[in-house]
Amino acid sequence: MKKIIEISNLCYTYPDGKTALENVDLNISKGESVGIVGANGAGKTTLILHINGILRENNGGSIKIIDMEMNDKNVRKIRSKIGLVFQNPEDQLFSPTVFEDVSFGPLNMRLSAEEVIKRSSAALEMVEMSGFENRSSHHLSEGEKKRISIATVLSMNPEILVLDEPTSNLDPKHRRELINLLKKICKTIIIVSHDLEAVLELCDRTVLMNRGKIVKDGKTIEIMKDKKLMEENYLECPLSIKNKIN
């Protein structure tokens, strides 16, 4: 399979001197679904902010996305290929209406008006939120906000979808709906989450992080079965696996 994300030796230090990433190596192929798990402050979010160049390595390392080196020249093009959905929908949805938020990305890609409208309504249809175009974001429910957030990047038709805590703050029904929705999206998907059950269901491969390093990279089921490994890294085996083992 063709490599779509190539990260080698990535290091990042926060302005306050705290090391956030240390020698991270990660290769992801086209069509893979990868979960990134780890304790709070393990560097998961920092890592995904590097994937579309919002943060840049400041301590060595290199990133290549779809054969493009991460630099000032390529960063805009890379961003149009990667849909990054932030954890908090309030940060993701900043426009007065849903339509303006969903069309924000395509407009920045300098697409024609018809194309923008076409893509925006297609994206809203995909997350089953057609008809919400003229609603304002602060009147929506948490589940609706999450869906719209995903639509705001789907409208850009990205090759890679990166989601930060997609299932947080959702009630079980809306969480289930979101998981089913993500299953339908056939793209390279990276999911950062504490919701291990969701990762188990959605991702074949998992990257386990701790203190800015990748501890283990392998099959989701293999990693989550390993009780010792999980507990050493402040996690625990998902209940569904535990029940199977016992």
Partner 1 sequence: MNHAFLDKYSNLNSLIHKLDPRTKIITFLLFIVFVITSAPTDYIQFLSYSVIILTVVFLSKVPLGYVFKRVLVIIPFVLLVAIFLPFANKGQEGWIIFGNVMIKSILAVLATIMLSSTTKFHKLLKGFELLKFPKILIMILSFMYRYVFILVDEAQRMERARDSRYFGGEYLRQIKIICNIIGLLFIRAYERGERVYQSMSARGFDGNIITMSKLAYTKIDIYFYIIFIGIIMIIKIWSLF
Residues found near partner 1 in the complex (CB under 8 A): 49, 52, 54, 76, 79-80, 82, 84, 86, 88, 90-92, 94-97, 100, 103-105, 107-110, 113, 116-117, 136-138, 152-153, 156
Cβ at position 6, least distance to partner 1 in Å: 20
Amino acid residing at 94: F
What is the sign of the dihedral through the CA atoms of 136, 138, 139 and 143?
positive
Q: Smaller CB distance to partner 1: residue 140 or 241?
A: 140
CA-closest candidate to residue 56, choices 20, 87, 92, 94: 20
Cβ at position 97, least distance to partner 1 in Å: 5
158 in Cβ contact with 30 (< 8 Å): no
Q: Smaller CB distance to partner 1: residue 103 or 210?
A: 103
Distance CA 152, CA 162 (A): 12
Q: Smaller CB distance to partner 1: residue 21 or 84?
A: 84
Distance CA 35, CA 50 (A): 16
Which structure tokens are listed for 106?
A: 């395509």
Cβ at position 232, least distance to partner 1 in Å: 32
Cβ at position 115, least distance to partner 1 in Å: 11
Q: List, edge to edge, every strand of the sheet that includes 160-164.
A: 82-85, 160-164, 188-192, 33-38, 205-210, 213-219
Cβ at position 163, least distance to partner 1 in Å: 12
Q: Smaller CB distance to partner 1: residue 97 or 169?
A: 97
CA-closest candidate to residue 148, choices 138, 45, 171, 116: 138
Q: Smaller CB distance to partner 1: residue 154 or 223?
A: 154
